[in-house]
Chain A
Amino acid sequence: MSRTCFWCLRSRGPACYSLAFHKTTPYIAGMVVQPRFQTGEQQTTNLHTSSILLRGLMPIRTDNDGTNLMKKKHVRYSEDYIQEKIEEYKLGVRRLAVMMGRDPKTFTEDDVKSSIRYLFPSSLTSVSARPSLDHPADLFPREIRVEADSHGRPKNYLFYTMSDLFYEELHFIYSCLLEAQQLDDRNYEKKIAPETTLDLKGSSWMSHDEVKKMFHNIKLPMYNLLISQLSRLAEEPYAYKYKNLIMKYRVVFQVQIAAKLDQLETKVDENGREYSEAQGKRKTAVADVRVYSKGKGRITINGEEFDEFFPLITDRQVVITPFNLLRMNLFFDVEANVRGGLSGIWMSEKGSSPQFPTNPKTSQAGAIRLGIARALQPFVGATNAEILRRAGLLTQDPRKKERKKPGQWKARKKFTWKKR
């Protein structure tokens, strides 16, 4: 086997169509062609041995998938043979269960694996080399027969593309696209609007690996083609009629709520108002925040009103982000007490204005924001708390002022570098 074919770079390649080279190879009689794809129905006609067309078609399988048994070429396993093996497997499982002292009816696959690991412990590194008891369906290749005439011509017109189901699907999608466009043109003239729209929220396109399971061994450019065709169909106004087709290739998200509610309690004031308390920090500022449930959007800080305490509008935006995200702006009242932060008196001669005050309070605003987000959780529910968590409003900003180092002016600024 020193000679190698130009196309398949192997001595006797399975994925090769070069009849010139492989003509010399012997053709085994009674051979069953096993194509890459899987058809639903299996036809039982055998192929004529003298069909020249099908000579170049060998069972095409890559080396990446399947067990070693499946990789054997020209091997045929009859159905009776496989049935025998299945019954042997079932017997073996029952015997294993009895050996381990368990009820064979409630003996699952995981129990099988664990019991074999117990009985035949091995220290081999590769998992596929260790002893195992697998169902024959995983081991033996499934015989797929081509749908063909009595003369040997395949029924499907796309057989020679080697992935007929896939191309069939693409043609179907294109036909749906044309239909949708025709509908749109017709109804536009009649001035009829579409009834609904297709909402693709909450789902995303299937990945390459998942599509490979549906169509055997689709490569990346083909996958991209499929997705682009489907998304072009989804842009049409009448795409809602083909929702089943599009959702077949979509994966729906499931909201996983990971946020644990920090605050679960709500207390009652002397006046009977319900509130919840929390603390927030940012740099050296610490804020104790109370959020009252039934309010009008009033915010008081250290006894002062919101607009007096924060003349800068960016600080106000920082404090209000939890309400903005949830769109519950005027539902709550807030009372806060803040201490710390660089809120001392700044000496400067340049003029200050309400837009640029000389006493910055941004760290205090960040502290209040954390306190509000934490205190809102019991009022607002778990899903909304998840929204806050994903926006990053429930985590404390860990940044602090970096210390000054010796040999430098400041944390990072160095003295001038002199070459000599």
Chain B
Amino acid sequence: MLIFSMLSYRTAKLCFASSNVALTVLVKPKETVTLKNRKYSNTLDLKPLSTSEPGNFSTLEHFLTDESNPARHTIDDVGLMYTIPKEDYSKMVSSQFNTVAFTQQFDKQVQSLNEASMVIRQPGFEIVNYLQNTDYTAPVNRYVIHGPQGSGKTMLMMYATHFCMKENWLIVPNYNMWSWMDYQSRYKPTMKKEIMESTWNKERVDVPHRAVIWLDTFKLLNGSLLDNIKTTQKYQWSKHESADIGESFSSIVDFGKARVRVATDVIGAIMKEIRVQDASTMPRTLVTVDAVNAAFCETKLKIKHNVYLKAHELSYGHNLKKLMTSSWTNGAVITALSKPFLEKNKKGYLLPGSHPYDLLGQEGFDWLDPHIPIAVGQYTDKEILSQLAYYKDRKFLTGPCLSEAGEAELIQLSYRNPADLAHICLSAS
């Protein structure tokens, strides 16, 4: 069955979805809010936009919905903004390492406004619809979110995780694979990460303190769900330390956080249990992977001169790649591509394009094939107007921005790109 979003791919290669998805016919939402059309019959009758009359968004009143549960969003809510409640937001974002889930820009905005609100977009509505209507006895679906840079792929993933949190799924977040593969920390440039040989398998390599962060976020997100899940296998971490059958996830996670050497192996154990167990013992799991294309690339971690590790030589990478296959049931895998983290390799060459073929490469595409592609584009008229009305409501935009000419200039400068719009509106100038 063809899905209409697949027509966004340039080539004619068809990616067939697995047959467990029952499609609902999605109708495009009616655009009731549009930019005013300028009438010009002769070419020389062009009138410049006024600087005194208010623009479209300064008179817009209805740009926020009250519903904070994505499951209850309707097609009329697409284009409006909604707020993520503070309890859910604090779970998604860990206190010590704030800027992990969302982008740095969004986190700054949330800190200054004390609330997290984002636009409800049509691909998000689509994903939630798919997740509500899949057959979870069949193998897992893989979703790949692609689109130009700054168009809201990570935000879409967070929208899906928010939906799953409300439905009490087990969420396995892998924010930013690339941070495992950088030698210098992105947020603390003076700290160099340690690498060590894996205790599980000597051919692979660990990044221990990064694994502790992973376990921290895992625990924060899921909380009490981890008490009820038990292991089905015995894991020998080292000579004297082991985990018996029937130990709960929460105890393993605490153990991993205390014993830093063993943390990556704990992650591997968790991932294996997810794959092995059935729906009777294991709740539904959502695996989110941001920057998937990093999992099929070379890292910046050196062992010898000019010898760089590859992603599958990391034990974390190895386990993650296994998770991303469709060999298990009762869950979903949502992945997002990202260009800036692969803007250049260590030698400084720029990669062209933002198409999945370019970013994933042959190996990555074959690994994720077949998948459901979800295209994210720039803002539509309705979305950009509600976003600008929100900024005006929060006093980020004042003065000549609110006129017709200012509105048109903002829209053209940012070119309807969400990240650039935020950068322009929230910067000091």
Whole-angstrom distance between the alpha carbons of A317 and B149 in the complex?
19
Given contacts A313-B423, A354-B149, contact A378 B43 (CB under 8 A): yes
Whole-angstrom distance between the alpha carbons of A362 and B424 in the complex?
19
Chain A residues with CB under 8 Å of B417's CB are: 307
Chain A residues with CB under 8 Å of B149's CB are: 307-308, 311, 354
Whole-angstrom distance between the alpha carbons of A381 and B44 in the complex?
6
14 interchain pairs, CB-CB under 8 A: A313-B424, A320-B413, A324-B409, A326-B48, A327-B48, A327-B405, A329-B405, A329-B411, A330-B408, A330-B411, A353-B343, A354-B149, A354-B343, A357-B343
Chain A residues with CB under 8 Å of B347's CB are: 347
Interface centre among A274, A327, A380, by most chain B C-beta atoms within 10 angstroms, is: A327
Chain B residues with CB under 8 Å of A331's CB are: 38, 40, 46
B349 is an interface residue with CB less than 8 A from chain A = yes
Give 1 or 0 for each of A293-332: 1 = CB within 8 Å of chain B CB: 1100101000001111001010011001001101111110
- CB-based nearest B residue for A353: B340
The 4 closest A-B pairs by CB, nearest first: A327-B48, A329-B408, A307-B415, A347-B348
> How many residues of chain B have a CB within 8 Å of chain A?
36
Q: Is the CB of A330 within 8 A of B412?
A: yes
Q: Is the CB of B43 within 8 A of A293?
A: yes
Contact of A297 among B43, B412, B419, B424 (CB under 8 A): B412
B33 is an interface residue with CB less than 8 A from chain A = no
- CB-based nearest B residue for A332: B46
Chain A residues with CB under 8 Å of B412's CB are: 297, 320, 323, 329-330
Q: Is the CB of B148 within 8 A of A352?
A: no
- In chain B between 66 and 106, which residues have their CB closer than 8 angstroms to a CB of chain A? none
A415 is an interface residue with CB less than 8 A from chain B = no
Chain A residues with CB under 8 Å of B414's CB are: 307
- In chain A between 324 and 374, which residues have their CB closer than 8 angstroms to a CB of chain B? 324, 326-331, 345-349, 352-355, 357-359
Given contacts A294-B40, A313-B424, A316-B415, contact A327 B51 (CB under 8 A): yes
Contact of A345 among B50, B349, B411 (CB under 8 A): B349
Q: How far is the CB of A44 from chain B (nearest CB, A)?
A: 60
Q: Is the CB of A328 within 8 A of B49?
A: yes
Whole-angstrom distance between the alpha carbons of A88 and B48 in the complex?
62
Q: How far is the CB of B65 from chain A (nearest CB, A)?
A: 28
Given pairs A328-B46, A347-B347, A353-B343, 15 additional interface contacts (CB within 8 A): A307-B150, A313-B413, A313-B423, A313-B424, A320-B409, A320-B412, A327-B50, A327-B408, A330-B38, A346-B348, A354-B149, A354-B419, A358-B344, A378-B43, A379-B46
Chain B residues with CB under 8 Å of A326's CB are: 48
Whole-angstrom distance between the alpha carbons of A306 and B148 in the complex?
11
Whole-angstrom distance between the alpha carbons of A389 and B35 in the complex?
30
Chain A residues with CB under 8 Å of B46's CB are: 328, 331, 379-381
Whole-angstrom distance between the alpha carbons of A274 and B44 in the complex?
13
Q: How far is the CB of A367 from chain B (nearest CB, A)?
A: 19
Q: How far is the CB of A325 from chain B (nearest CB, A)?
A: 9
Chain B residues with CB under 8 Å of A380's CB are: 44, 46
A266 is an interface residue with CB less than 8 A from chain B = yes
Contact of A352 among B344, B354, B405 (CB under 8 A): B344
- CB-based nearest B residue for A326: B48
Q: How far is the CB of B148 from chain A (nearest CB, A)?
A: 6
Chain B residues with CB under 8 Å of A330's CB are: 35, 38, 408, 411-412
Chain B residues with CB under 8 Å of A345's CB are: 348-350
Contact of A379 among B38, B43, B378, B413 (CB under 8 A): B43
Q: Is the CB of B43 within 8 A of A354?
A: no
Q: Is the CB of B48 within 8 A of A328?
A: yes
Whole-angstrom distance between the alpha carbons of A359 and B46 in the complex?
37
B192 is an interface residue with CB less than 8 A from chain A = no
Chain B residues with CB under 8 Å of A355's CB are: 423
Whole-angstrom distance between the alpha carbons of A357 and B343 in the complex?
9
Q: How far is the CB of A138 from chain B (nearest CB, A)?
A: 49
Whole-angstrom distance between the alpha carbons of A349 and B412 in the complex?
33
B13 is an interface residue with CB less than 8 A from chain A = no
Q: Is the CB of A274 within 8 A of B43?
A: yes
Whole-angstrom distance between the alpha carbons of A354 and B343 in the complex?
9
Whole-angstrom distance between the alpha carbons of A245 and B125 in the complex?
68
Q: How far is the CB of A319 from chain B (nearest CB, A)?
A: 10
B420 is an interface residue with CB less than 8 A from chain A = yes
Q: Is the CB of B348 within 8 A of A349?
A: yes
Whole-angstrom distance between the alpha carbons of A345 and B343 in the complex?
12
Whole-angstrom distance between the alpha carbons of A379 and B354 in the complex?
35
Contact of B49 among A274, A307, A329, A357 (CB under 8 A): A329
Interface centre among B49, B340, B344, B349, by most chain A C-beta atoms within 10 angstroms, is: B344
Q: How far is the CB of A78 from chain B (nearest CB, A)?
A: 64
Q: Is the CB of B148 within 8 A of A266?
A: no
Q: Is the CB of B350 within 8 A of A359?
A: yes
Chain B residues with CB under 8 Å of A307's CB are: 148-150, 378, 414-415, 417, 420
Q: Is the CB of A349 within 8 A of B346?
A: yes
- In chain A between 71 and 96, which residues have their CB closer than 8 angstroms to a CB of chain B? none
- CB-based nearest A residue for B182: A351
- CB-based nearest A residue for B36: A330
- CB-based nearest A residue for B339: A354
